[in-house]
Amino acid sequence: MSTCCLLLRRLGVELGKSVVYQESNRETRVDVKESVRGQDIFIIQTMPRDVNTAIMELLVMAYALKTSCAKNIIGVIPYFPYSKQCKMRKRGSIVCKLLASMLAKAGLTHIITMDLHQKEIQGFFSFPVDNLRASPFLLQYIQEEIPDYRNAIIVAKSPSAAKRAQSYAERLRLGLAVMHGEAQCAESDMADGRHSPPAFRPSCGPPGLELPWKHQAPFPGIELPMMMAKEKPPITVVGDVGGRIAIIVDDIIDDVADFVAAAEILKERGAYKIYIMATHGLLSADAPRLIEESAIDEVVVTNTVPHEVQKLQCPKIKTVDVSMILAEAIRRIHNGESMAYLFRNVTVDD
């Protein structure tokens, strides 16, 4: 059952009457079929495979509700798209900030989401953002569904994930291991001319003719200290995983190549079972096949993103339902109640 249907069942309400469709030229059109004047409207948008179309539908729907005089327009977006593009990388752009500005301009007044890739993304918005956590549900799954979890060790597949892994390990009272030296694909080390000095061009005037200063050739590049090239060390595991159940925790699992490589290393180090716990299971491209053929025993994700097709392709993929906390957040916002209850026993590093 979809996340939207689960939310409606838990809240005991019906879906609002509206139609969203694409015309023959691929333009998105929205028709709201009932009055929304002066009401709190919650738009539930779980990102499907076609992320850009889903974003456009959300923007057009929000603007249609804004022009129809809705009191508050709250976006329920369990997985916030483009959240990995939240930092400047060379000549790129911070697309997440752009999307936040677009949503505000379209008319959204509040967002409910879950496990943003970086907590600082909340600062991109000019309206309130409730960033819920999936960790209580994943911790409960570990305790109830993994036999002999006391013999497990929490693993961070990169140093950047160490804080999240440490938070899980402390609450489960388990050991912690960190993998270091894996290839990072997020930032290219290829030469792009950024560090090159400007080329020196000699003066083109005839011999003996001194050109005015503004026509002189540019100054040669300033000599800077030599940049030391980064060299990634061989993959190592800091921590003893021999004879243990290895549980890798992360927020997003999309391209599973890194996880498959990490599982092979952990197997070589003596781990006899390997679980992956993540909030958002995007599982793009050949992810189900790669998981099925790998040393990974089980991949546990929440239902923030639809992945029914991937589950049919790979029985190792399991789902944890988080609609309960999303429904409670919707109820509390509508009734003007405090949200603090939803963040009890949750650490900043989750």
pLDDT tens digits, the chain, 350 residues: what are they?
A: 788 999 999 999 999 999 999 999 999 999 999 999 999 999 999 887 789 999 999 999 999 999 999 999 999 999 999 999 988 888 889 999 999 999 999 999 999 999 999 989 999 999 999 999 999 999 999 999 999 999 999 999 988 899 999 999 999 999 999 998 755 444 444 455 555 555 545 555 555 555 555 555 555 667 777 767 667 777 889 999 999 999 999 999 998 999 999 999 999 999 999 999 999 999 988 999 999 999 999 999 999 999 999 999 999 999 999 999 999 999 999 999 999 999 887 877 77
Tell me if 40 sits within 8 A of 71, measured CB to CB: yes
Between the CA of residue 29 and those of 17, 33, 184, what are the distances in Å? 14, 13, 40
Phi, psi for residue 71 in degrees, rounded to 5: -70, -55
Cβ contacts of 139 within 8 Å, gap of 6 or more = 168, 171, 172
pTM of the model: 0.85
User: Which of 75, 97, 101, 102 is closest to 85 using CA atoms?
Assistant: 97
Enclosing H/E stretch for 226: none
C-alpha 267: how far from its chain's center?
Answer: 27
pLDDT computed for residue 233 by the predictor: 75
User: Which of 316, 251, 249, 313 is closest to 282 using CA atoms?
Assistant: 251
Cβ contacts of 140 within 8 Å, gap of 6 or more = none
Between the CA of residue 290 and those of 46, 265, 284, 294, 300, what are the distances in Å? 25, 16, 11, 6, 15
- Domains of the chain and CATH, by start: 3-132 (3.40.50.2020), 135-183+233-319 (3.40.50.2020)
List strand residue ranges (DSSP E) for 33-168, in order: 40-44, 72-76, 110-114, 129-132, 152-156
pLDDT computed for residue 220 by the predictor: 61
The 10 Å Cβ neighbour count of residue 42 is 20
Tell me if 5 sits within 8 A of 321, measured CB to CB: no
pLDDT computed for residue 323 by the predictor: 95
Cβ contacts of 71 within 8 Å, gap of 6 or more = 38, 39, 40, 41
